[in-house]
Structure 1
Amino acid sequence: MSYKINEGIIEEKGKVVAPEAVFRLGRFSVLSDGIDTEFVISKRPAQIQFVFELAPIPNFTLHFRDRPLDVEQTNALVKYGYFILDEGRICFVSSRINEFLEAAFGDLSLSKLIKLLRTLFQEGLIIEIPSDLIEQLRTNQQKESHHKKLFVQSLYPYQEAGVNWLSFCAENAVGTILADDMGLGKTAQVIALCCDVLEKNPKSKILIVVPNPLIDNWVREFRFFAPSIIPYLHYGNQRRGVVSAFDNYNVIITPYSTMSSDIAMFEEIYFDLALFDEASMLKNPKSGRSLSARRLEIGVIVAMSGTPVENSLMDAWALSDLVFTGFLGTEKDFKSTYVDSNIADTLNKNLDELENSLRQITLRRMKKDVLKQLPERLDIHTAVSLSEKETIRYDLIIDEMKNDAANGAGGILPLINKLQQFTAHPALLDSSISRDVRTLKANSAKFELLILQLDKIANAKGKVIIFATFHKAIDLIQGAIKERYKVSPGIIDGRTPNEERQPLIDDFSASNGFDVLLLHPKTAGMGFNITAATNVIHYSRQWNPALEEQATARAWRNGQEQVVNVYYMFYANTIEEKIDERLRLKQQLSERVVSVTDDKETDKQIMLAYLETLES
């Protein structure tokens, strides 16, 4: 037999010898430069190392025994599964390595590249993966988001960077987790992403799935950030059960419960982009809502969660597998590799590889990372959607007020008090409602949102002060916090003796981890220094804006060294929304002095003016 080597390939009579035939040769002679040279087939698979480089373009080089293979050796190995060493040896690789070679040197999308790099690293075939792979690729390609025609507000620099990152991922069909810290504006960033997607393709369909209480808030956020985009709300008894209802809309907003119940309808549509707000609601992969989400036909998924890992590493697997199926392996394999029944044993594992993998598809910035870009105080106004049951009860109270107003408004003040109790929680008016957390959430959308927010603060081991008006509401919240978080919040209201108030604040300030103080805005809204809290929740809205300003100043004052999140919760399309608008107006006109009074006549005037708007 007369064999020759041509560009690193074994040939016989001018034809390439099949790799399996080469492997069977054992020892054989090759005519090289007119001289017969003996070659030997190495029977042991060669241990190849992959080296990944980003510049000038993403590419792999191959190494054997710490020496790089040249172009001929690389081409032969990729195409035929062997390469020739100078010392007369021909080395083959295993079928598993051949699969990796085919992937690495084939048509490699970004999602396939990310998955391949992780697999190579896990198998010890690559030493290092860039932790900021996506951002480096985006920068090298000079890719930026195109959202500024539809998005009318300004973003902080870190938010612009976030939108650019999300845009690059979406363009390359890589699902991601947006896990920025609370208050850093995840909603603004994903709305800018929606604008980017629609500017690139105006026919795109976008699905946004949210917790029930946040439906109206999302509509208001679109109105503020991208007013030309009109979302379609799909929820409630009046919703249409046909796909054609979505025909004239690019953005569809629906709650998790409706997505699950109408999944047969939703899976008929292809969505270019899907956003899952408060995606920790999908952390149980076997829940009905998670199974429904996985039935949807989606181009790219973004999961929004300030707490991607709440109780277990399985939370991270569930969200990652939702946005990027298979990236972290199967649930069974992930659990056996990383999760122990004893959390201490889990922490003792080497989690560096997992953390690096998660960073590839997760964008997480903490306040401390972007502190210089932030104001000292973040005001977060959240519109809460009344449930259908709550809407009926609210309308009944409003009807009572209308009747009273028509007869001289002599009884309007007690009715205002009744309305304020209702917006705190229907249980204040209905003693038959059980006080357990599950029931309280089911009967009040605002309370459900409160618990959702407290879950995030508790997970971050933050401290929060909550302002509520009625003693019954304060007690109800305290009981729920005890049940859910095993924490006993201090209470400062009219029932708290003066000598006990400062010690409660001192205990709160000295405590470690998650803690809560429940305060009445009039009793504890002035005079106290509570800078240990970096979160303030106005659960019961004050009809006098100055009261809320002074209450917020308990945490946001001299001595506070961190950014303070101030959450204002109000029911959409109710008197509470009018109150919220008054507060925002006051903040915009800060030169104007608003006196702190307890003027029930002013409350009466506000209410009567509101009732007049309902008649028009």
Structure 2
Amino acid sequence: MKIQAKLHQYQAYSVEWILDHPYCALLLDMGLGKTLSSLTAIDDLLEFFGDTGKILVIAPLTVARSTWPSEIKKWDHTKGLTYSLIVGKEQQRIAALEQKADVYITNRESVVWLVEHFKQRWPFETVIIDELSSFKSAKSKRFRALKQVRPLMKRVIGLTGTPAPNSLMDLWPQIYLLDRGKRLGKTITEYRNKYFHAGVSNGHVVYNWILNDGAEEKIYAKLDDICISMKSKDYLTLPPRTDNVVKVQLSSKELRAYRQLERDYILENDGGEIVASNAAVLAGKLLQVANGAIYDENEKVRVIHDRKLKALENIIEEAQGQPVLVFYNFKHDLSRIQKAFPEAKVLDVKSGDVEKWNQGKIPILLVQPQSAGHGLNLQQGGHIIVWFSLTWSLEYYQQANARLDRQGQTQPVIVHHLVTEGTIDEDVMKVLSGKAKNQNELLQALKARVEGIRRNKPVG
């Protein structure tokens, strides 16, 4: 079914912004129609300007496979656009490149291959980076590859709702891909030295950087001529959303097991300061235990408890047959959920699960937020979310919830968080609820727990 698109005023403004700026970013909250605005701009560029050259869209894999093709087919004014999907095995990607199309769509993991394939023969003069924040690391291969061919592009459009979910340090690589260093500096070192100062450090090694006073305003001022930012609360009237914390209580024996594992893993790092990377690894292990299981040194699953499975069972029973979207992080979480709920289906975009979910044919949909956090439209299939495994990434959390809590949702959204009392789950919830600013504070909380254990103080 094709739909006549009547753009909202803010979407029309976004289209004009793209047309007026050879390189720009739309920093739009989830649900504000970044894809529709971009496609409309593409259609206008092809029809009225004719100077786009070949057009490439870079997106997360599931978004490349599902969202962009379905959006092209969905609207009357874009249904005439032809597209070629550059995904899959190398032979399939090469065949897709050889097809004649208005728009070429690829996943971000293929960027390095694409650059190496063309080198200085790079043919794409217009590049749209859907989820620009996935290029936030200046050290990543995908950023370095795209940086090489950036001079060969005439138009670059970046789309994201979370440009700096953890730190404004994340902005430099993203903005460089737009303006080649004109606003924030030619190198990340130049940017860092101008707007930040060292925080926690050990000799010459700096573990985190802190914004200088007034730097945030200065950075935003540098970007206001190429970036527009819109918040969904200012433009959309959505059904209410309820965030519910479901407390999971361990038995005394189970809590002692958690404490012992917590202590053992901490003592593995004893004798020195736990740096951010080690703290992150430790946090991951403790999150596993809070969920009920952990991998041992032989990569076998050691089950600690099943309290979250019972809590999930209660929620599903209370749903009375309404579809439930469950987010998980670890493979052993997935296997235990599937064993407890055989009717549950793991999201597979290629198998048409998005359509099946939206048609009400999947009672329990299991999704890993890292792989399906961006761009999937699931709001027609349900309104109940359960976080079986909490994530400490605010970006993943916000994007994942927006699969249901977005434009087109007609029912109040309920987001259940399964939180194991007395564990790291409680620290993560402080980040997700806004009581802590970012995941760096989670690491600091973890370090405080480390010191408490080392001093033989009660933890929690």
TM-score w.r.t. length of structure 2: 0.52
* Other-structure match for 1:305: 160
Q: Deviations over 1:296-343 (max 9, x none)?
A: 332111111101112222211111111110211121111001123348
* Other-structure match for 1:610: none
Distance in structure 1 (CA, Å) of the matches to 2:239 and 2:135: 31
Residues 32-111 of structure 1 mapped to structure 2, 5 A cutoff: none
Query: Does residue 73 of structure 2 align to residue 223 of structure 1?
Result: yes
Distance in structure 2 (CA, Å) of the matches to 1:514 and 1:233: 25
Structure 1 counterpart SS, 2:15: helix
**Partner residue of 1:478 out of 388, 404, 429:** 388
Unaligned ranges ≥5, structure 1: 1-149, 379-419, 435-441, 457-464, 469-473, 488-512, 519-533, 539-547, 557-616
**Partner residue of 1:190 out of 2, 15, 38:** 38
Q: In 2 relative to 1, CA 155–266 (structure 1 residues): closer, same or farther, beyond 3 Å?
A: farther
Q: In 2 relative to 1, CA 423–183 (structure 1 residues): closer, same or farther, beyond 3 Å?
A: closer
1:366 positional shift: 1.6
* Other-structure match for 1:335: 192
Residues 132-147 of structure 1 mapped to structure 2, 5 A cutoff: none
Give the aligned residue type for 1:285: A
Distance in structure 1 (CA, Å) of the matches to 2:238 and 2:96: 47
Give the aligned residue type for 2:412: A
Asked if the contact 1:178–1:303 (Cα under 8 Å) also holds between the matched residues in 2, the reply is yes
Unaligned ranges ≥5, structure 2: 200-207, 241-322, 339-345, 350-364, 376-381, 416-460
Q: In 2 relative to 1, CA 447–432 (structure 1 residues): closer, same or farther, beyond 3 Å?
A: closer
Task: Return the index of the structure with the highest Cα Rg.
Answer: 1
Q: Deviations over 1:550-592 (max 9, x none)?
A: xx33569xxxxxxxxxxxxxxxxxxxxxxxxxxxxxxxxxxxx
Residues 492-531 of structure 1 mapped to structure 2, 5 A cutoff: none
Query: Does residue 132 of structure 2 align to residue 291 of structure 1?
Result: no
Pairwise CA RMSD of aligned residues?
Answer: 4.5
Q: In 2 relative to 1, CA 364–248 (structure 1 residues): closer, same or farther, beyond 3 Å?
A: same
Aligned residues: 283
* Other-structure match for 1:317: 172
Structure 2 counterpart SS, 1:360: coil
1:203 positional shift: 7.0
Asked if the contact 1:151–1:192 (Cα under 8 Å) also holds between the matched residues in 2, the reply is no
Query: Does residue 63 of structure 2 align to residue 208 of structure 1?
Result: no
Structure 1 counterpart SS, 2:155: strand
* Other-structure match for 2:114: 262
TM-score w.r.t. length of structure 1: 0.40
1:421 positional shift: 11
Give the aligned residue type for 2:193: S
Asked if the contact 1:466–1:536 (Cα under 8 Å) also holds between the matched residues in 2, the reply is no
Give the aligned residue type for 2:71: E
1:375 positional shift: 4.5
* Other-structure match for 1:596: none
Distance in structure 1 (CA, Å) of the matches to 2:132 and 2:68: 15
Give the aligned residue type for 1:361: I
Asked if the contact 1:243–1:266 (Cα under 8 Å) also holds between the matched residues in 2, the reply is no
**Partner residue of 2:104 out of 224, 248, 252:** 252
Structure 1 counterpart SS, 2:128: strand
Q: Deviations over 1:465-494 (max 9, x none)?
A: 9736xxxxx5xx422x1xx3299xxxxxxx
Structure 1 counterpart SS, 2:62: helix
1:246 positional shift: 3.6
Distance in structure 1 (CA, Å) of the matches to 2:79 and 2:130: 20
Q: Deviations over 1:23-42 (max 9, x none)?
A: xxxxxxxxxxxxxxxxxxxx
Distance in structure 2 (CA, Å) of the matches to 1:224 and 1:158: 20
Q: In 2 relative to 1, CA 284–350 (structure 1 residues): closer, same or farther, beyond 3 Å?
A: closer
Structure 1 counterpart SS, 2:5: coil
1:245 positional shift: 3.4
**Partner residue of 1:553 out of 396, 405, 412:** 412
Asked if the contact 1:274–1:301 (Cα under 8 Å) also holds between the matched residues in 2, the reply is yes
Give the aligned residue type for 1:337: K
Distance in structure 1 (CA, Å) of the matches to 2:36 and 2:402: 20
Asked if the contact 2:369–2:397 (Cα under 8 Å) also holds between the matched residues in 1, the reply is no
1:348 positional shift: 2.1
* Other-structure match for 2:298: none
1:353 positional shift: 2.8
Query: Does residue 3 of structure 2 align to residue 154 of structure 1?
Result: no
Distance in structure 1 (CA, Å) of the matches to 2:123 and 2:86: 16
Asked if the contact 2:52–2:125 (Cα under 8 Å) also holds between the matched residues in 1, the reply is no
Query: Does residue 97 of structure 2 align to residue 180 of structure 1?
Result: no
